[in-house]
Structure 1
Amino acid sequence: MFGGGGLNPRKMKQMMEQMGIDLEDIDAEEVVIRTPDEDLVFTDAEVQKMDAQGQATYQVVGTPESRPRGEGATAVGSGASDGSESESGADAEAETGGSPDIPDSDVEIVAARTGASEDTAREALEETGGDLAAAVEHLE
């Protein structure tokens, strides 16, 4: 952005402050970037947030582990962290009243946005692999 070749860090920070750019280090435990084919999981990543003119930009520095989509994903609030009480997908679906991969909050968002029933919203989310935007587009 500035060329920065020979600028000392203190001078660079002073210039950024003058331009209204704020940098903040974020103590992140894990960063996940989801693509259609894989999850890029950064553990022990260095994350910085830069605010400039009301726009936030995040910088992630580290080496990701590539995982196929859905592998290693844990449902929020699942009791088994050691895998000892793992359930089949059908059992989990019967207990929660829906797909274990689709959070109820996502279903509510899609239903509210489209005016569809929660069952229809859940089906759309299942068809789109949990993609909120695609499910809304599918129902509109």
Structure 2
Amino acid sequence: MMGMNPRQMKKLMRQMGIKMEELEGVEEVIIRLENKEIILKDPVITIITAQGEKSYQIVPGKEEVRAVVRVSEDDIKLVMEQAGVDYDTAKKALEEAEGDLAEAIIKLTGG
């Protein structure tokens, strides 16, 4: 296959039942892991279909990694009770405090 021009390669792949197409307009791809997210900005994505199965080839433009803080429902309820705030406010404060209950409560109560 080396030395084959792109047109010949496409023809051969078509004969083998392999279809390739580029996915247009993709702004980002997010890969969520247990404790972080990998954000791929402006990726080039190729969809390869072979024998009825789709595969996605992703070539990232810019890569960004973010830590993800997971907070428990019990912690959110405790912050809600102690700070006298609603669910979303308590959850956001806990996430900003990276799960630290005391810090979240102090931030919300101002003391």
CA–CA distance in 2 between the matches of 1:48 and 1:92?
Answer: 41
Find the residue that maps to 1:67 and give its secondary structure.
strand
Deviations 1:9-31 (A, max 9, x none): 11111111001111111121111
CA–CA distance in 2 between the matches of 1:45 and 1:6?
Answer: 28
| Deviating 4+ runs (over 6 angstroms) | none
TM-score for both structures, normalised by structure 2: 0.57
Residues 44/91 of structure 1: CA separation in 2 closer, same or farther (3 Å cut): same
Higher strand share: 2
CA–CA distance in 2 between the matches of 1:91 and 1:68?
Answer: 25
Unmatched runs of 5 consecutive residues or more in structure 1: 71-89, 101-140
Larger radius of gyration: 2
CA–CA distance in 1 between the matches of 2:11 and 2:87?
Answer: 54
TM-score for both structures, normalised by structure 1: 0.46
Find the residue that maps to 2:65 and give its secondary structure.
strand
Equivalent pairs counted in the alignment come to 75
Which residue among 32, 46, 49 is the counterpart of 1:48? Answer: 46
Deviations 1:35-62 (A, max 9, x none): 2232111111000111100110001001
Find the residue that maps to 1:64 and give its secondary structure.
strand
Give the % identical residues.
Answer: 36
Matches within 5 A, 1:6-25: 6-25=3-22
Aligned-CA RMSD value: 2.5
The structure showing larger relative contact order (alpha-carbon pairs under 8 Å, at least 6 residues apart) is: 2
Residue aligning to 2:68: 69
